[in-house]
A and B are shown apart, each in its own frame.
Chain A
Amino acid sequence: MLRNFMRKYDVTDIVMWLIGLGLLLVVLWGSYKTLFVIQKYESSVWLDFFIFGLAQGSVYALIALGYTLVYGILFMINFAHGEVFTGGVFTAYFVAIAMERSGFIERHWVLALLILMAIAMTVSVAIAVLLERIAYRPLRGAPRLVPLITAIGASFFLQYTYRGIYGSGVKTYPDFPALDGKLNLLGREWPILTTQALVIVVAALMMVFLYWYVQKTKAGKAMRAVAEDKEAAALMGIDVDQVIVNTFALGGAMAGVAGILYALLFKQVNAFMGFIPGIKAFTAAVLGGIGNVPGAMLGGLFLGIVESLGPSLILDGLGIPAPYQLKDAIAFTLLVLVLIFRPTGILGERLSEKKA
């Protein structure tokens, strides 16, 4: 019996399961203490946390789509995708400032928002497409680590380009007065900030659009065909290069919108802002099963909520001071755990047999 067991599982497997079990116990213990012993927070606070998590999760989800789309087709991690996100929102910042000064935002806030999104999308798409053309396309078919290293290089190059051109300071995005306060709709006040509601709704619309695009349009079908089998798709008369460009563009567009939503939520931009959300969005993509479009959306929402609830729920109970400092550590721990224990993600990875 034991011999059979040892045959099937390595020592490393056992160590891993012990680590997993230990972490699970810590999480349970921390949550138990917070909820039943300390009882510092009321339920409305938990709801606030949850909604905030949902809002930032929507942003992660939109960025995650870019990772997932590209991975689905090229099997490469576009490490510079976080910088595609930064490029759009940072460039749009200067327009936003101009619009604020001229009072345009106060007079036509919906139009202003649409313009900002259009600008951010355009810039992000341009960066994504250029990235593909200059840095990735020549390396198609190279060993896997080569494009990854290129992407890492591109990521730093872009970060420091933004810093060099736009400056290194943190810039404050203009306020949208129409979005202040709680959401007032149907004659009553809802327990959600207007900004958060807007972010969630816009993100949801974008995701629905993307899902429709991938599933129903001709271009989307070509994309899926290329993801299944590049050679066969090419034989069927699909222009594979064009499809890949489309994929990068689509991911860039999502990242552009995500950038503006991020700016609405957090009000700040700087040259390095995309790096951490980028890695988190990648986590989200892996969580949902990389290459899997609905998975990326769910993964993003899940990660956003965990990150928002986690510090108070788990760490407060353990008596750790200033738990909010560790929220990124929670996200990264989740990343590490998912990749270790379930690299195919919660929903399972599309095309995984192919890569096995």
Chain B
Amino acid sequence: MAKKRNADYILETIHVTKQFGGLVAVKDLSIQVPYQSIYSVIGPNGAGKTTFFNCITGFYKVTEGDILLDGESIVGLRPDIIVKKGISRTYQNIRLFQNLTALENVMVGHHPRMHAGWLGAVLNTPATRHEEAETRKLAMELLEFVGLKGYEQELATNLPYGQQRRLEIARALASEPKLLLLDEPTAGMNPSETEEMTNFIDNLRKELGITVLLIEHDMRVVMTISDYITVLDYGEKIAEGKPEDVRANPRVIEAYLGRGAATQHKAKAA
């Protein structure tokens, strides 16, 4: 949650390309994410959105191009270093540590900000104890923030779906990120849960001052909360801009919104 700004954008990708063998999953993609914005990446299935996320978090090595966080290149860094630099993420198909408690999950999230080592743990030094207590406190606060107060000792696997989503966000927040990558946070949710999640994401920025990079399928969510949108198709950027511009862009309607928007309109009319 650092306030100092070294660059114009918190995240900038410059001509990023990712290739798997002959398949180009992300092609020459450049985006600029301003500080404290909510930035959405949308596109049909298989458009390369998640691959793009995996490139940013260092899980994949980009084939070409550069990625700047706060003006500093993070290409080629290991995922655990990138987390330390301030990017953290959630997954499209929830990937919690299923058999750890909710509290432990969030405390693991704080791992990169902790220092206790082997010896500290064994000797139970005051510094370790202090750090452990602080982490526990932070984790409790985060659980409360995402509305999971009272579920601290529950195993992640036993939580209902919506709560697992929020627990995953709490875990991501525990690493004190500047930039939060959310991969389809409303997938599989009903309309009221979706609305709740939308408000929640909006709150993240308002209350914690975090920039959010979002992959989302639900057009209503995207159009409501995004400041900027980039549309991908077959790994390529086909449009970008403010929600209203994107909505009006004929290429987007053709490639992506086309049928969906039409049916939606029809449904509304009926």
Q: Which residue of B lies closest to A3 (CB)?
A: B76
Chain A residues with Cβ below 8 Å from B76 are: 4, 7-8
Per the bound structure, the CA–CA distance linking A353 and B25 in Å amounts to 15
Query: Is B121 close to A, CB under 8 A?
Result: no
Chain B residues with Cβ below 8 Å from A353 are: 20
Per the bound structure, the CA–CA distance linking A198 and B239 in Å amounts to 69
Q: Which residue of A lies closest to B77 (CB)?
A: A7
Chain B residues with Cβ below 8 Å from A4 are: 76
Chain A residues with Cβ below 8 Å from B20 are: 353
Q: How far is the CB of A232 from chain B (nearest CB, A)?
A: 17
Q: How far is the CB of A144 from chain B (nearest CB, A)?
A: 15
Which residue among A4, A7, A8, A10 has the maximum number of chain B CB atoms within 10 Å of its CB?
A7
Q: How far is the CB of B81 from chain A (nearest CB, A)?
A: 9
Per the bound structure, the CA–CA distance linking A10 and B76 in Å amounts to 11
CB contact list, B18-46 vs A, under 8 A? 20
Q: Which residue of B lies closest to A4 (CB)?
A: B76
Chain B residues with Cβ below 8 Å from A8 are: 76
Q: Which residue of A lies closest to B73 (CB)?
A: A7
Per the bound structure, the CA–CA distance linking A353 and B21 in Å amounts to 11
CB contact list, A238-263 vs B, under 8 A? none
Q: Which residue of B lies closest to A8 (CB)?
A: B76
Q: Mark A317-356, 1 if CB is under 8 A from B, else 0.
A: 0000000000000000000000000000000000001000
CB contact list, A1-49 vs B, under 8 A? 4, 7-8, 10
Q: Which residue of A lies closest to B76 (CB)?
A: A7
Q: How far is the CB of B25 from chain A (nearest CB, A)?
A: 12
Q: Which residue of A lies closest to B61 (CB)?
A: A8
Per the bound structure, the CA–CA distance linking A10 and B78 in Å amounts to 9
Per the bound structure, the CA–CA distance linking A4 and B77 in Å amounts to 10
Chain B residues with Cβ below 8 Å from A10 are: 78
Q: Which residue of A lies closest to B75 (CB)?
A: A7
Per the bound structure, the CA–CA distance linking A10 and B79 in Å amounts to 13
Q: Mark A55-78, 1 if CB is under 8 A from B, else 0.
A: 000000000000000000000000
Q: Which residue of A lies closest to B20 (CB)?
A: A353
Q: Mark B64-90, 1 if CB is under 8 A from A, else 0.
A: 000000000000111000000000000
Q: How far is the CB of B36 from chain A (nearest CB, A)?
A: 29
Q: How far is the CB of A195 from chain B (nearest CB, A)?
A: 46
Which residue among B20, B76, B78 has the maximum number of chain A CB atoms within 10 Å of its CB?
B76
Per the bound structure, the CA–CA distance linking A7 and B66 in Å amounts to 14
Chain A residues with Cβ below 8 Å from B78 are: 10
Q: How far is the CB of B46 from chain A (nearest CB, A)?
A: 15
Per the bound structure, the CA–CA distance linking A4 and B76 in Å amounts to 8
Q: How far is the CB of B207 from chain A (nearest CB, A)?
A: 35
Per the bound structure, the CA–CA distance linking A353 and B60 in Å amounts to 13
Per the bound structure, the CA–CA distance linking A7 and B82 in Å amounts to 12
Q: Which residue of B lies closest to A6 (CB)?
A: B76
Per the bound structure, the CA–CA distance linking A7 and B20 in Å amounts to 21
Q: Which residue of B lies closest to A7 (CB)?
A: B76
Q: How far is the CB of A119 from chain B (nearest CB, A)?
A: 47
Q: How far is the CB of B173 from chain A (nearest CB, A)?
A: 27
Q: List 6 A-B contacts (CB under 8 A).
A: A4-B76, A7-B76, A7-B77, A8-B76, A10-B78, A353-B20
Question: Top 3 nearest A-B pairs by Cβ distance?
Answer: A7-B76, A8-B76, A7-B77
